[in-house]
Amino acid sequence: FPAATVVRTLAQHREAIRGIHGHLQGVPINEEMNALRFRMGMVEEENVSLRGRIKTTEAIDTITRR
């Protein structure tokens, strides 16, 4: 290949990579991560609540069996 073709192709690839990189920077990854963290927090709170209910139910079962 002639050197000019290689240089032009590299320049085009570089420009394409910059465009892709710029597009990816615009993706709201932080917003999605914050939303996922919030949902995980809600699930963890729900798990704590359910564990509390299970312990209460087990305690009631223990008391009523005696």
Q: pLDDT digits over 12-31, tens only? A: 898 898 888 887 777 677 78
Q: How many CB atoms lie within 10 A of CB 30?
A: 8
Task: At 30, list the tokens.
Answer: 């932080």
Q: How many CB atoms lie within 10 A of CB 60?
A: 10
Rounded to an integer, what distance in angstroms lies between the CA atom of residue 65 and that of residue 62?
5
Rounded to an integer, what distance in angstroms lies between the CA atom of residue 8 and that of residue 5?
5
What does the pLDDT look like over 36-54, one tens digit per residue? Answer: 899 999 999 999 999 999 9
**pTM listed for this prediction:** 0.47
* Concatenated DSSP letters of 49-63: HHHHHHHHHHHHHHH
